[in-house]
Chain A
Amino acid sequence: MTPTETVDTTYRRFAEDPSYVEANRAYVARLPLADKTHILDLCCGTGAVGQLLLAAAPRASLVGIDLDPVQIGLAVENYTRLGYAVSRVEGPLQDFRFGAPRSANLVVGSATDLPFAPASFDCVNIANAIHLIGDKDGLLTSVARVTRPGGCFVFSSGFYAGCWPAVTQQVYYEWLKEATAWIARASAERVAAGQPPIRRVRGKSQLAPVAYQNRWLTPDEWRQLLREKGFDVTVLAERPVMFDRDSLASVGAYSGLAEAQLSGYPVEIASQALASTADLALASAGVTSVQHNWIEVCALRRGD
């Protein structure tokens, strides 16, 4: 890919990646969803996992929340295409009531601000995003408040202590170096063509600090924290997922990752750089794919 080509920087491309899709399917397949009726999907993105939750819970409706209005727009399209009754929730969340059965109700908002009525949901999910939330104590307190006793809090995450085997650590680090070099070359080409260089503005990213300065918990630390917050863990498992060049290029192109990894560069260029250098990163370790472990957790809300 050359610096003049464009790249899809939404989460859609990675959400459709075969390895990621299969990891999400396997995650949802182990959850106790059959009798659930009110699902809250935090950091819902394009609805990739929420759709699987609804498919596994035939009587359920869902509220999906994401900070990014672009992802919410894509979620509206996706749920509509699948035939759900779709609404965008604009009013105060404390007044929210589920309307039509089998509905997907989508909100631009924060996963850490949940002013729903207490015990509104019998399932709260956060797929591959809980690592981005710094105040995990506050998050779990809020989730416990809106989860009915006996309901479940479920999450998956590819970022926890122990998620990357040594070779994966190497490949991911070389990837950042290769992407940085790609940007330097692109900048030099621009200058040679009489254009301004690619400049980086330090301190601009909101995502970089939360992605890399949040302490990743071990599986045992997750179990302990959930217990303290009123949940009993029934599933805590690690799933190895293999990512090849196409998988890495897909996730590298996602603007959220690009902003966090190459903070301060124009996001479009950072996305191109990561998408274009995934193969070089794999080659640096002499591999064609890397193992990226996923943690999967299901915890039941204890009665008060």
Chain B
Amino acid sequence: MNTEATPPSFTRAELERDLLAILTDMTADWDLSFEGGITPETRLMADLAFESIDVVQLVVAIEAHVKRRHLHFEHLLMVDGRYVQELQVREIVDFLDKQLAQAA
């Protein structure tokens, strides 16, 4: 008998809501000049001053939240064989939505 719990499922709207909450919590004590709150248009590097390890920690937080590992975020973070220079919140939601649908 398979005793592993089935990972929860999420709608795209739920993923967006939860990602915004994760980002808000993660950056709460950062010294940022960014104003207006985090939205789907927010850019991780330009607006939130993300460093590469911040992206890793965001991925860890996301994978813990959706209770799945190895979601292959490297496919989002590397395009044409090199690191992307910027990432919008909306792009992460789109990627996550797609990866979770494939993993379901």
Whether the Cβ atoms of B53 and A169 lie closer than 8 Å is: no
Q: How large is the interface on A (under 10, 10 to 19, 20 to 34, 35 or more residues)?
A: 20 to 34
Given A161-B81, A215-B85, A216-B83, decide whether A261 and B72 contact each other with a Cβ distance below 8 A.
no
Query: Is there a chain A Cβ closer than 8 Å to B52's Cβ?
Result: yes
Query: Is there a chain A Cβ closer than 8 Å to B87's Cβ?
Result: no
Write the B45-63 contact mask toward A (1 if CB under 8 angstroms, else 0): 1000101111011011000
Q: Give Cα distance in the complex from A93 to B80, angstroms.
A: 40
The residue on A at minimum CB distance from B70 is: A284
Min CB–CB distance A39 → chain B (angstroms): 30
Q: Which residues of A contact B75 (CB under 8 A)?
A: 169
B-side interface residues, number (CB < 8 Å): 23
Query: Is there a chain B Cβ closer than 8 Å to A81's Cβ?
Result: no
Query: Is there a chain B Cβ closer than 8 Å to A70's Cβ?
Result: no
Whether the Cβ atoms of B81 and A173 lie closer than 8 Å is: no
Given A161-B80, A180-B60, A181-B60, decide whether A262 and B85 contact each other with a Cβ distance below 8 A.
no
Kindly identify which residue among A161, A170, A181, A263 contacts B53, using a CB–CB cutoff of 8 Å: A263
Whether the Cβ atoms of B78 and A263 lie closer than 8 Å is: no
CB within 8 Å of B: which of A160-193? 160-164, 169-170, 172-174, 176-177, 180-181
Min CB–CB distance B69 → chain A (angstroms): 8
- Can you list 29 A-B contacts with CB-CB less than 8 angstroms, sorted by A residue number? A161-B81, A161-B82, A162-B81, A163-B81, A169-B75, A169-B78, A170-B70, A170-B74, A173-B56, A174-B70, A177-B60, A180-B56, A180-B57, A181-B60, A200-B53, A202-B51, A205-B51, A208-B51, A209-B51, A211-B52, A212-B51, A213-B45, A216-B82, A263-B51, A263-B52, A263-B53, A264-B51, A265-B53, A284-B70
Q: Which residues of B contact A (CB under 8 A)?
A: 30, 45, 49, 51-54, 56-57, 59-60, 70, 72-75, 77-78, 80-83, 85
